[in-house]
Amino acid sequence: MESETLHGVLVEVFGLGVLLVGRSGVGKSELALELLARGHRLISDDAPTFRVNAEGRVIGTCPPLLFGFLEVRGLGVLHVGRMFGEPVLRAQKALDLILRLDEAHVADPADRLHGRRSQKRVCGKPIPEILLPVRPGHSMATLAEAACRDQTLKRDGYDAAEDFIRRQQQQIEAGQ
């Protein structure tokens, strides 16, 4: 079975496998550390390996040498299992979402309703991707958690933007 290694940090947030990606130095490891401090789990820092399992899901694992370690600029290499306890570590997780960290951008009106969403292929399978703007003073962990909760709602059939548009259209049609 073919595998694919990607640059990023694979974490579990509210039960979702989430790959944090972005240019070097954008804050992937710092965000992962914040998420771990909030009770989420680490699968792999830097170079998670992905493969498709028998059920057709993309599964991410950590190279054995890196298991439990997280490199954070300014702090160096940390063993997060020893810092937070071994339950913070997980050997593998299905990939459900990619969060791309990028410098702030000016949102166009469509972004205000739907955000910056796309799909990326990993091992040939489409995976939802959301661009999260990195801005000083904003809680990236809160944004990442909100993105995960919203992705779960979307997976379960609810789209907040479509609900808002529908409600707005009903108001217009009612003449209010």
Is residue 150 within 8 Å of 113, Cβ to Cβ?
no
Question: Quick one: which H or E segment has residue 121?
Answer: strand 117-122
Active-site residue (options: 7, 79, 82, 166): 7
Residues 139, 137: Cα–Cα separation, whole Å: 7
Contacts (Cβ under 8 Å, ≥6 apart) of 47: 5, 6, 7, 63, 66
Nearest partner of 6 among 58, 62, 49, 67, judged by Cα: 49
Is residue 93 flagged as an active site residue? Answer: no
Asked about 28 being catalytic, the answer comes back as yes
Q: Report the distance separating Cα 116 and Cα 30, nearest Å.
A: 22
Q: Which of 40, 41, 45, 46 is catalytic?
A: 46
> Alpha-carbon distance 143 to 102, whole Å?
13
Nearest Cα to 88, choosing from 133, 139, 47, 36? 36
51: annotated active-site residue: no
**Measured distance CA(79)–CA(94) in Å, rounded:** 23
- Residue 150 catalytic? no
Instruction: Provide the annotated active-site residues.
Output: 7, 28, 46, 112
